[in-house]
Amino acid sequence: MLETHPHTILIVDDSPENLTVLSELLQPLYRVRVATSGRKALSIVNTQPLPDLILLDIMMPEMDGYQVLQALRNQPQSAEIPVIFVSAMDSMDAELHGLIEGAVDYITKPIIPPIVLARIHTQLELKRARDALSYHNHWLEAEVNKRMEENEIIQEVSIRALAHLAETRDPETGNHILRTQGYVNQLALLLTGHPQLKTTLNERYIKLLSRSAPLHDIGKVGIPDAILQKPGKLSPAEWQVMQTHAKLGYDAIELAERDTQGSVEFLALAKEISHWHHEKWDGSGYPDGLSGNNIPVSARIMAIADVFDALISKRVYKPAMTFAHAREVIAAGQGTHFDPDMTTAFLENFNNFCQIAERYRDSEMEVSI
């Protein structure tokens, strides 16, 4: 059932006669509220039903129409309500002044009823259109946000699925991808104030970096089981094969990226991590022998995270180290294996990383601080 008065109009005028004339004209068509002063009008717009349109006199005591309009625009609940000035000032200058102040229209007294009704109808239709557009825009924004959230979930699930695929080839890694993801995120956050890194390590970069981290060892799917799961030390030839997992991971992600129509930011970081997280600060790492700042920031962070977790985790070829022993090994690699500044941040906040390790510990992990 349609409402009898779908719109509410507030009439503001200090003259009872003018209020009566306008009220009698509008009441058959609209819900009408009245105010005999600017202050009463400002009070009314804070109560329900809110007006859809305001007819505002200019020449009033205490607060004139211009002051009332300014006050309406300064209140969030009334800032968007259209205002039509209704005034006895019928000069062109007065009308221009009213429109410049922000009124949507200007009606001169004495009023001509058909003109008043036509102009009110026009402004209400415009408001209806604006409101519909605003609602539609909010709905679209909500839909976009919903789709983005769904896409992020799909990305997360896909990354985890790929990472777990690699884990099936190396079953003793357990929660390795969760722990290293946590270490990477924590270390990146600790480094955000670093003079040389703060530009790179913004909020979006860290989010993408953390999302990409589980793919660091995806290339292991290309390593034969006899090498990947060998319980003893690898021979020089076997070690050469093992080292190819870095390039294999990069190539696999590169092929996946080619299937997309444009570049995908988190895949770019995933390529960096998988390709170069075994490089060393002094240039003695693999596969390309990069050194210092030539190693991407993402790979330098991943290097510390990956080695720390490998040290404290049980493997087919070694027992787990204690946290204290692992800390000593990381410290010994500062400036040779690892970026010295990143190592300092890691060591100064070592307990944070131990807590992450405990949170995602494997049942067979036997480490202590």
Residues 178 and 311 in one domain: yes
Chain centroid to CA 293: 29
Q: Which of 100-104, 179-183, 293-297 is predicted least confidently? A: 100-104
- Give yes or no: residues 68 and 134 share one domain: yes
Together in a domain, 216 and 345 = yes
Task: Give the tokens for residue 263.
Answer: 């570049």
CA–CA gap between residue 121 and residue 51 (Å, rounded): 14
Residue 293 shares a structural domain with residue 177 = yes
**CATH number of the CATH domain containing 316:** 1.10.3210.10
Q: Tell me what pLDDT residue 289 has.
A: 96
Q: Is the domain of 79 the same as that of 27? A: yes
- Residue 170 pLDDT level (bands cut at 50, 70, 90): low
Structure tokens at 229: 């799961």
Which tokens is 100 given? Answer: 């410049």
364 belongs to a structural domain = no
Q: Do the Cβ atoms of 360 and 182 come closer than 8 Å?
A: yes
Indicate whether 134 belongs to any domain: yes
Answer yes or no: is pLDDT of 126 > 80.
yes
Give the confidence band of 156 by pLDDT, cuts at 50, 70, 90: low
Domain final residue pick, 139, 159, 194? 139
Q: What is the mean pLDDT of residues 156-170?
A: 65
- Assigned domain for 253 exists: yes
Q: Same domain for 77 and 181?
A: no
- CB within 8 A of 287, min separation 6: which ones? 243, 244, 246, 247, 275, 276, 278
In this structure, are 131 and 189 located in the same domain?
Answer: no
User: Are 199 and 324 in a shared domain?
Assistant: yes
Helix H, strand E, coil C: the string for the chain is: CCCCCCCEEEEECCCHHHHHHHHHHHCCCCEEEEECCHHHHHHHCCCCCCCCEEEECCCCCCCCHHHHHHHHHCCCCCCCCCEEEEECCCCHHHHHHHHHHCCCEEEECCCCHHHHHHHHHHHHHHHHHHHHHHHHHHHHHHHHHHHHHHHHHHHHHHHHHHHHHHHHHCHHHCCHHHHHHHHHHHHHHHCCCCCCCCCCCCHHHHHHHHHHHHHCCHHHHHCCHHHHCCCCCCCHHHHHHHHHHHHHHHHHHHHHHHCCCCCCHHHHHHHHHHHHCCCCCCCCCCCCCCCHHHCCHHHHHHHHHHHHHHHHCCECCECCCCHHHHHHHHHHCECCCECHHHHHHHHHCHHHHHHHHHHCCCCCCCCCC
Same domain as 213, residue 77: no
Query: 109 in a domain, yes or no?
Result: yes
What letter represents residue 170's amino acid? D
Last residue of some domain: 98, 124, 139?
Answer: 139
Summary mean pLDDT of the chain: 88
Give the tens place of pLDDT for each residue, 256-310: 777 666 667 778 898 999 999 999 999 999 999 999 999 999 999 999 999 999 9
| Domain of residue 212, residue span | 170-359
* 150 inside domain: no
**Is 80 exceeded by the pLDDT of residue 169?**
no
Asked whether residue 148 carries a pLDDT value surpassing 90, the answer given is: no
Task: Examine residue 203 and state whether it is found in any structural domain, yes or no.
Answer: yes
In the predicted model, what is the mean pLDDT of residues 11-37?
Answer: 94
Q: What is the pLDDT of residues 357-369, one digit of tens each?
A: 999 987 654 444 4
Check whether residue 274 and residue 129 sit in a common domain: no
Kindly state the average pLDDT of the residues 156-175.
64
If one counts the domains in the chain, the total is 2
The percentage of the chain sitting over the pLDDT mark of 70, rounded to a whole number, equals: 89
User: 8 φ, ψ to 5°?
Assistant: -110, 130
Burial of 58 from C-beta contacts in 10 A (0-12 / 13-18 / 19+): buried
Residues 202 and 341 in one domain: yes
Residue 115 shares a structural domain with residue 208:
no
Domain presence at residue 156: no
Longest dimension (CA), the chain: 104
What average pLDDT does range 69-92 have in this prediction?
91
Residue 283 lies in a domain: yes
